[in-house]
Structure 1
Amino acid sequence: MPAASAAHSHAADLADFVAASPSSYHAAEEVARRLEDAGFTRLDEADAWPTQAGGRYVIVRDGAAIAWAVPTDATATTPVHVLGAHTDSPGFKLKPKPTTGAKGWLQAAVEVYGGPLLNSWLDRELRLAGRLALADGRVVLAATGPLLRLPQLAIHLDRGVNDGLALDKQTGTQPVWGLGEPESADILAELAAAANVDPAEIRGFDAVVADAAHGTIFGKDDAFFASGRLDDLASVHAGVVALIEAVDSGASGTVIPMLAAFDHEELGSASRSGAAGPILEDVLERIYASLGSDAEDLRRAYTSSWCLSSDVGHSVHPNFVQRHDPVVQPVLGSGPILKINANQRYATDAVGAAAWASWCESAGVGSQEFVSNNAVPCGSTIGPITATRLGIRTVDVGIPILSMHSARELAGVSDLYDLSRVARAFFAI
């Protein structure tokens, strides 16, 4: 298959992956589903895990998923290559007592999650998705079709809107979802119906709002890909594709390849399923215990291990060039990015940069560098957190995008595919 066709097929598959992943919980389950279809075995954290080498496994903890394969000749000090990414995205989450409204409109009471571009959510058809905890102890996933909308105030009623739109995070962000009085309706019933459960059985819920539109390839030569939740489902998807390909080819024999898709990165990662929590360390300790590792063996393995922290970064914006570094200006379609920050907002150092270059060379992929303008504060991601928690050498990378934290973000088709190719090389070294 020509490279262009392969890249477009990859983007089309990413569109399906995002559509199946409207919440972090759905994303974790979609990761597990795809890997189970590829021959991975799903493990329960409450059970004893297999002790033999040669298996491929996946676990799900809330909105996080971790998958790995143990080479048949793995030892107590075989290094691990972890591709880290995150399943959550900025947006809105349902509050308790979520059904509200005014003047004959039904509305959803939502709380801002992370740091979304609020105005990007206006005038779009939106879904509701998440998990429901039921009276019988079950936890089920639920996702509606297009259900909600945040309608913008008409220009006739706000003549200064084009001089600057500022949405109040409380009064300006409550979407409509029907007509009637709040006392006679329940938005949780919509989620219950989607999950085919009785709404009276719901005892708890975690539900978010997601863009309902499917991902789209467009532009000259079909170079662009637009979708919700590219931050960071683009990296999660690339990791899934690369892990399956690496393990199926049998190329990974000198390292333990692993995908770690964490939740709650947009909030700082401090949770039981986030990168600052214990999930990755828990899994690694159990894997190495099954290989007969003691505490010294584990630290020896960590010393030779790598974490490739993959998250999106900023492409240079043609309308706002002054907001970027004047020299280092990555652009869509020119390859994945190596993310660098002097203040360790990214974990990349010289040794990591050299390793990244070798993986890109092995994959036949070009790379770009990203650094912030000194006058514009730099964001961060899971890389420094993972490096701090485990001491594993870490490199922060990703793809350049526009419209970061928008309800619908913009990526380059070739970059998406190239990221998965580098991840494939990273897993196979």
Structure 2
Amino acid sequence: MARTHLPAPYHYKYIAGNGIYIIGAHTDSPCLKLKPVTKVSKGGYLEVGVQTYGGGLWHTWFDRDLAIAGRVIIKEQKDGSESYSHRLVRIEEPIMRVPTLAIHLDRDVNDGFKVNKQSHLAPVLATSVKAELNKSAAENGSVETGSPKHHSLLLQLIAAQAGCAPEDICDFELQACDTQKSVIAGALKEFVFSGRLDNLCMSLCSLKALIDSSSSESSLEDESGIRMVALFDHEEVGSDSAQGAGSPVVLDALSRITNSFSSDTKLLPIAIQRSFLVSADMAHALHPNYMDKHEENHQPQMHGGLVIKNNANQRYATNAVTSFIFREIATKHKLPVQDFVVRNDMACGSTIGPILASGIGIRTVDVGAPQLSMHSIREMCAVDDVKHSYEHFKAFFQDFSHLDAKITVDI
């Protein structure tokens, strides 16, 4: 591979074999994704067939105002020939809803609301009567006759957002999403109420930290490593995909960067040994109504700063060295930091941290901002912890290479 020459001053200190300092997070969240065939008609209603993605709290999806967002594959005409492209679409207004059953028809519902994911979660799009009356002049017939796989009404709504004709939609990857916007809330405006905090909060904080820590020439003059943010899809379903943390993308990036500055293949293992990964994924704040669900000495609090996650069975990749480094950065910048381990009698979740640590051999610490209602359609965290996370990540980028040079341990 040819040597890459970077413009001054961005290669003052870096040489091939130096470390790469990464904050890794994921961008996906549990949701309802549209099936390849979405057309469902039952009891005089047009419904949309969906499949569950990840481990969501599915009862929270009932009685919410839902829209659709995602990617659409479009057929186009260019210079007299067909071509194909993809477009991102989001229908802003609520077009669907998953209604609950009235308590009069299920008197025991408050003793246990059990969701059948196949039969109970299909959102209602319209009634058949109104759909019939709303015939499209272009189709010159019922909205039900446009596609064997999808309601024509649904295709019309998607096409309007994509700026194309319904018949030009070749395929799509779409998901249902809540239309309620994120807000700063609580009696003292101390909380963020939002969907998908897990894990867009960590994605945002890491990206802003990377940008702000590298925004001036002086901030990089003494930097001997490479600063990187890696955002992955499919964490909620195991990370085994081309876009997931189980793919070779990070190892490829480390290899390409190192080999761009030297053809010596022995330098890549050295670079990996000198590198460091912060696996950033939201953490469980102590719930005041379920305090027995937390281990008594490890109860992360709102406003308490980033949580360092530990697990003896390697569900998190943190060890004494990596936690010390991250904690030492917090101490220097007077930032709060907390610890978490799951109770011994409960199962522990996991993150991209162990996947990348085991696949690459990179030093890793697992951290995250504390939140409540994780995997609900509507989650909450503290405003202060968003600020703490950003400042901690920024300090990591700025200070890691200097701190790491002072540490002598056998990894």
In which range does the TM-score fall when normalised by the shorter chain?
0.7 to 0.9
Checking the alignment, whether the CA contact within 8 Å between 1:53 and 1:73 is kept in structure 2 is no
Deviation at 1:281, TM superposition (A): 1.9
**Residue equivalent to 1:9:** none
3-state SS of paired residue (2:55)? coil
Structure 1 residue ranges (4+ consecutive) displaced by more than 3 angstroms after TM superposition:
69-73
Deviation at 1:95, TM superposition (A): 0.3
Alignment of 1:170-185 (within 5 A): 170-180=118-128, 183-184=144-145, 185=151
Deviation at 1:309, TM superposition (A): 0.2
Distance (Å, rounded) in 1 between the aligned partners of 2:177 and 2:266:
45
Deviation at 1:82, TM superposition (A): 0.5
Alignment of 1:399-414 (within 5 A): 399-414=369-384
**Residue equivalent to 2:87:** 140
Larger Rg: 2
3-state SS of paired residue (2:176)? strand
**What's the % identity of the aligned pairs?**
40
Alignment of 1:12-411 (within 5 A): 51-54=4-7, 71-135=11-75, 136-145=83-92, 146-180=94-128, 183-184=144-145, 185-186=151-152, 187-250=154-217, 251-252=219-220, 253-411=223-381
Checking the alignment, whether the CA contact within 8 Å between 2:3 and 2:262 is kept in structure 1 is no
Q: How many residues align?
A: 369
Deviation at 1:240, TM superposition (A): 1.1
Q: 1:350 to 1:100 in 2, by over 3 A?
A: same
Q: 1:367 to 1:305 in 2, by over 3 A?
A: same
Residues 357-416 of structure 1 show CA distances to partners (whole Å, capped at 9, x for unaligned) of 122123321101011011110000100001011111000000111111000111011011
Checking the alignment, whether the CA contact within 8 Å between 1:147 and 1:177 is kept in structure 2 is yes
Q: 1:54 to 1:228 in 2, by over 3 A?
A: farther
Distance (Å, rounded) in 2 between the aligned partners of 1:191 and 1:412:
35
Checking the alignment, whether the CA contact within 8 Å between 2:25 and 2:231 is kept in structure 1 is yes
Distance (Å, rounded) in 1 between the aligned partners of 2:156 and 2:55:
28
Distance (Å, rounded) in 1 between the aligned partners of 2:346 and 2:193:
25
Unaligned 5+ runs, structure 2: 76-82, 132-142, 146-150, 400-411
**Residue equivalent to 2:404:** none
Larger mean CA deviation between 320-329 and 129-138 belongs to 129-138
Checking the alignment, whether the CA contact within 8 Å between 1:362 and 1:425 is kept in structure 2 is no
**Residue equivalent to 1:41:** none
Distance (Å, rounded) in 1 between the aligned partners of 2:43 and 2:335:
57
3-state SS of paired residue (1:302)? helix
RMSD: 1.9
Checking the alignment, whether the CA contact within 8 Å between 1:76 and 1:293 is kept in structure 2 is no
The one-letter code sitting in structure 1 at the alignment partner of 2:176 is: V
Checking the alignment, whether the CA contact within 8 Å between 1:53 and 1:74 is kept in structure 2 is no
**Residue equivalent to 1:38:** none
Checking the alignment, whether the CA contact within 8 Å between 1:70 and 1:256 is kept in structure 2 is no
3-state SS of paired residue (1:411)? strand
Larger mean CA deviation between 372-381 and 193-202 belongs to 193-202
Checking the alignment, whether the CA contact within 8 Å between 1:338 and 1:370 is kept in structure 2 is yes
The one-letter code sitting in structure 2 at the alignment partner of 1:177 is: L
Checking the alignment, whether the CA contact within 8 Å between 2:3 and 2:259 is kept in structure 1 is no
Larger mean CA deviation between 160-169 and 278-287 belongs to 278-287
Q: 1:361 to 1:53 in 2, by over 3 A?
A: farther
Deviation at 1:123, TM superposition (A): 0.9
Checking the alignment, whether the CA contact within 8 Å between 1:316 and 1:331 is kept in structure 2 is yes
The one-letter code sitting in structure 2 at the alignment partner of 1:197 is: C
Unaligned 5+ runs, structure 1: 1-47, 56-68
3-state SS of paired residue (1:249)? coil
Distance (Å, rounded) in 2 between the aligned partners of 1:344 and 1:100:
44
Distance (Å, rounded) in 1 between the aligned partners of 2:397 and 2:156:
44
Residues 288-309 of structure 1 show CA distances to partners (whole Å, capped at 9, x for unaligned) of 2222253211111111110000
Checking the alignment, whether the CA contact within 8 Å between 1:77 and 1:293 is kept in structure 2 is no
Deviation at 1:229, TM superposition (A): 0.5
Distance (Å, rounded) in 1 between the aligned partners of 2:213 and 2:3:
21
Residues 12-39 of structure 1 show CA distances to partners (whole Å, capped at 9, x for unaligned) of xxxxxxxxxxxxxxxxxxxxxxxxxxxx
Residues 327-365 of structure 1 show CA distances to partners (whole Å, capped at 9, x for unaligned) of 211111111100000100000000011011122123321
Distance (Å, rounded) in 1 between the aligned partners of 2:156 and 2:3:
41
Distance (Å, rounded) in 2 between the aligned partners of 1:391 and 1:160:
52
Larger mean CA deviation between 313-322 and 357-366 belongs to 357-366
3-state SS of paired residue (1:222)? coil
Residues 79-106 of structure 1 show CA distances to partners (whole Å, capped at 9, x for unaligned) of 1110000010001111011132322222
Q: 1:213 to 1:294 in 2, by over 3 A?
A: farther
Calculate the TM-score normalised by the size of structure 2: 0.86
**Residue equivalent to 1:45:** none
